[in-house]
Amino acid sequence: MNIIITGASKGLGRAVAEKFAAHGYDLFLCSRDQRALTAAVQQLGQRYPAITIRSKTADLAQKDQALEFGQWVLESGATIDVLVNNAGQFIPGSVHDEDEGVLEQLMAVNLYSAYRLTRTLLPAMIRRKSGHIFNMCSVASLKAYPNGGAYSISKFALAGFSANLREEMKAFGIKVTTVYPGAAYTDSWAGSGVDPQRIMEAGDIADMVWAAAGLSPQATVEEILLRPQLGDL
């Protein structure tokens, strides 16, 4: 079994990679951070020597690199059992005063990367009539909040993509799950002053993705919504 994870060098992507590796999945990982990706692959390889880990540095906000990564996966000949569109970026700001170009940048990272990679891999999945796609959205996909700006807009768009894809893929036996995580402690929270006990662990999201991926072919978890026990920050 194989899983493709974007934005896999750290954070939620890394946690998902760890969870599936522990259950014997072979990994296809990408990240734009070559150093972090290399370190993640080395650590995962040491912990799970029985699996195969393939990795490729790619900035999926760039159309050519997103398409190239997808072709690289296809050329391996591996089946696409699970795809986790996790690559993303957060830039705080408000619509009325954020820097020019922020919306374009976040749409490219948070939406177009998933759209282009999925479209590249779908023909092979449709031919097999199987596979499971997870789109890593956010609670910012559901509710606007102060300083959300272009980030929230892009995540609303990703949720729309995921909802449409779910409807389209029903007939082909391909599952689509939209994931809406609240605040989970990752490297991006380090030094922020937020108590790690106040928010979720990255592994919590990975556990839910794993559970959803393990259901029978007759069942699909359409949405996963997780928040810290005390609510959003």
Q: Per the domain annotation, does 180 fall within a domain?
A: yes
pLDDT greater than 90 at residue 80: yes
Percent of the chain with pLDDT over 90: 90
Q: Per the domain annotation, does 233 fall within a domain?
A: no
Joined tokens for residue 93: 């700001």
pLDDT greater than 80 at residue 222: yes
Q: Per the domain annotation, does 232 fall within a domain?
A: no
Number of domains in the chain: 1
Host domain of residue 69: 2-226
In whole angstroms, give the CA distance from residue 16 to residue 181: 13
14: alpha, beta or left, given left = phi > 0 and alpha = psi -120 to 50?
Answer: alpha
Q: Per the domain annotation, does 185 fall within a domain?
A: yes
In whole angstroms, give the CA distance from residue 186 to residue 225: 18
pLDDT category of residue 78 using cuts at 50, 70 and 90 = very high
- C-beta of residue 81 within 8 angstroms of C-beta of residue 130: yes
Instruction: Please give the average per-residue pLDDT across 155-184, as a whole number.
Output: 97
pLDDT in tens, 2-23: 999 999 999 999 999 999 999 9
Q: What is the pLDDT of residue 192?
A: 75
In whole angstroms, give the CA distance from residue 226 to residue 92: 21
Q: State the SS3 of the chain.
A: CEEEEECCCCHHHHHHHHHHHHCCCEEEEEECCHHHHHHHHHHHHHHCCCCCEEEEECCCCCHHHHHHHHHHHHHCCCCCCEEEECCCCCCCCCCCCCCCCHHHHHHHHHHHHHHHHHHHHHHHHHHHCCCEEEEECCHHHCCCCCCCHHHHHHHHHHHHHHHHHHHHHHHHCCEEEEEEECCEECHHHCCCCCCHHHCEEHHHHHHHHHHHHCCCCCCCCCEEEECCCCCCC
CATH of the domain at 193: 3.40.50.720
- Which among 41, 46, 36 is positioned nearest to 17, based on CA atoms? 41
Q: What is the pLDDT of residue 69?
A: 98
- C-beta of residue 12 within 8 angstroms of C-beta of residue 86: yes
When mean pLDDT is compared across 64-73, 110-119, 188-197, the lowest value belongs to: 188-197
Q: What is the pLDDT of residue 70?
A: 98
Q: Per the domain annotation, does 149 fall within a domain?
A: yes
Q: Per the domain annotation, does 124 fall within a domain?
A: yes
Joined tokens for residue 170: 């029903």
pLDDT in tens, 179-219: 999 999 887 677 778 888 889 999 999 999 999 999 999 99
Q: Per the domain annotation, does 231 fall within a domain?
A: no
What values do phi and psi take at 200, rounded to 5? Answer: -75, 170
- Which among 209, 191, 161, 230 is positioned nearest to 20, based on CA atoms? 209
Look-up: residue for tokens 């928040």?
227
Q: Per the domain annotation, does 92 fall within a domain?
A: yes
pLDDT greater than 90 at residue 45: yes
